[in-house]
Amino acid sequence: MTKYVFVTGGVVSSLGKGITAASLGRLLRSRGLRVVNQKLDPYINVDPGTMNPFQHGEVFVTDDGGETDLDLGHYERFTGEALRRGSNVTAGSIYLSVIQKERRGDYLGDTVQVIPHVTNEIKARMRKLGGDDIDVVITEVGGTVGDIESLPFLEAIRQFGNDIGRANALYIHVTLVPFIASSDELKTKPTQHSVAELRSHGIHPDVIVVRSDRAIDDQVRRKISLFCDVVPKAVIAAPDAADIYEVPLLLQQGGLDAVVCERLDLVTGPIDLTKWQAMVKRAKAATESVTIGIVGKYVDLPDAYLSVVESLRHAAAALDRRLDLRWIPSEDMSGLLADAHLEGVEGIVIPGGFGSRGVEGKILAIRYARENGIPFLGLCLGLQCAVIEIARSVLKHPDANSTEFDPTTPHPVIDLMETQHDLSEMGGTMRLGRYPAKLEEGSLVRKLYGQEIVYERHRHRWEVNNRYRRDLEAAGMRLSGMSPDENLVEFIELIDHPFFVATQAHPEFQSRPDDPHPLFVGLVGAAVGLRARQGELDEIDQPTRQ
């Protein structure tokens, strides 16, 4: 029977429930168990697809086209398991489903209430992830205990534990033990109050994960154990880590996986974290840096590009480099100011996005990369901006544009597919999820991937206009990856450039810390090579300067 682990949080938000849930997933998978993660989010939006990135961060996309919370990205990166849309459940999707059932008459005239109708819907979403092929489902409850919008989820997980039997359910509470400098001590009272609040909802935590800015001693552990009625070995220290990928190792040292397996009677083999430990050690040992600039309009909230940043970190670590990330606001890019922003970068990434704001700055950055031989990687909108830039600068169509930004452009090098001209329902016209691409023999992307057919995740509406394909190729652009039916451009590159690659997809969603994505490895490798070439030039120029 599938076992269920529920992760809640208290005291303050952003304590790291998602990282804790992801880390536990990694630990259990390293013991040979089959694990799937899930996030319950209390907001009333149906999904994050239409939410402002400044408020919510990036939208993570699953293979089956689910637009989900960014915590699913953490789950996938830590566990290596590709999740599906069922792993993200919002209050909005729950209420929408309940109302639709009520309108259809599914409830046979019952008065529809939070209990049992809403809680039953939540439990159905959790139960759906279990099965004969899954040993453990780890479900994170978003928000903080005490939030009014989280109450139906807390009630649902309480009921669920009774439904399946307490031997098959385990509750983990992530809480804060702050250090008070004036008294020079760690305070457990916030944790005590948070656990008391959770217990008032009928949930008695089996494990308490203690977040703190320093290690906790046995005295603190015993105090939490006594006042919160949890055995001492189930009070797990989770001090701040320099790298989030160290967290599974810290939690394993604290005995989290052992406590979970014992409590749920899970029979496993010995844990094997050899590859993970080597990855963390290699990243920490890197001393030389590589400077990569991300040009975007949401740079004030780095979580808007979280998967891009993590993919760059994965690639840099794999090449024994420390990532020196430069955030470049695309709206501030104009004329000579653009050159000032980009001076000194060894690689440039243009990430995805929607809307016209900041697009001209991205186009200027691409021109700078193209003309100065700076390694460049375009993602989704980054590919579209690259096509626009080449159409303007090389094909001499100064008015070339995307119909997303200028519906009346005389040269719509980026346009909607014929089947996508009805934008009446937001999200309903996008190409979402996993799609194949065929890579051209002899191309750089074919060399990087090492195979002809690749699958990447997409989230976009606009495509390269096929009417301009021949002109773009004549201008030196290689259409190096196409959809299998040859109708959609998936990858482009410039032949006479150290590294100029763009894709219509979002490869950042499939990069893993112990298995970095080849496109990001290619970019960082080219950036490292650029520094080496510049060093050779400096040596040649040195006698002249003296």
pLDDT digit string (tens) for 472-508?
Answer: 999 999 999 999 999 999 999 999 999 999 999 999 9
d(CA 363, CA 369): 10
Within 8 A by CB and 6+ apart from 37, the residues are: 21, 22, 25, 72, 75, 79, 81, 83, 87, 137, 138, 139, 140
Instruction: Report the pLDDT averaged over residues 28-41.
Output: 97
With pLDDT > 70 as the criterion, what percentage of the chain qualifies? 95
Q: Give residue-wise pLDDT tens across range 434-475.
A: 999 999 999 999 999 999 999 999 999 999 999 999 999 999
Lowest mean per-residue pLDDT among 80-94, 254-268, 529-543: 529-543
Mean pLDDT of 67-83: 96
The distance of Cα 422 from the centroid of its chain, to the nearest Å, equals 29
- Given the residues 173, 310, 508, 517, select the one marked as catalytic: 508
- Check if 508 is active-site: yes
Residue 345, pLDDT above cutoff 80: yes
Work out the pLDDT band at 302, boundaries 50, 70, 90: confident
Structure tokens at 15: 């304590």
User: What is residue 336's predicted lDDT score, i.e. its pLDDT?
Assistant: 65
pLDDT value at residue 532: 66
pLDDT reading at 541 higher than 70: no
Q: Encode pLDDT of 372-431 as tens digits.
A: 999 999 999 999 999 999 999 999 999 999 999 999 999 999 999 754 444 433 344 789
The mean-pLDDT minimum among 114-118, 183-187, 457-461 falls in: 183-187
Give bridge partners of residue 379 from the DSSP assignment. Answer: 503
Cβ-based burial of 451 (10 A; exposed 0-12, middle 13-18, buried ≥19): exposed
Is residue 341 annotated as a catalytic residue, yes or no? no
pLDDT band at 543 (very low <50, low <70, confident <90, very high): very low
- Distance from CA of residue 494 to its chain's centroid? 28
Q: Using an 8 Å Cβ cutoff, are 25 and 140 in contact?
A: no
Which candidate in 261, 380, 404, 493 is catalytic?
380
Question: Catalytic residue at 506?
Answer: yes
CB-based contact 247:20 (threshold 8 Å): yes
Structure tokens at 51: 């939410």
Task: Out of 314, 411, 506, 517, pick the active-site residue.
Answer: 506
In sequence order, the 6+-apart residues with CB closer than 8 A to the CB of 71 are: 18, 21, 22, 39, 60, 140, 142
pLDDT band at 338 (very low <50, low <70, confident <90, very high): confident
pLDDT per position as a tens digit, 242-275: 999 999 999 999 999 999 999 999 999 999 999 9
Instruction: Tell me what pLDDT residue 50 has.
Output: 83
pLDDT of residue 299: 85
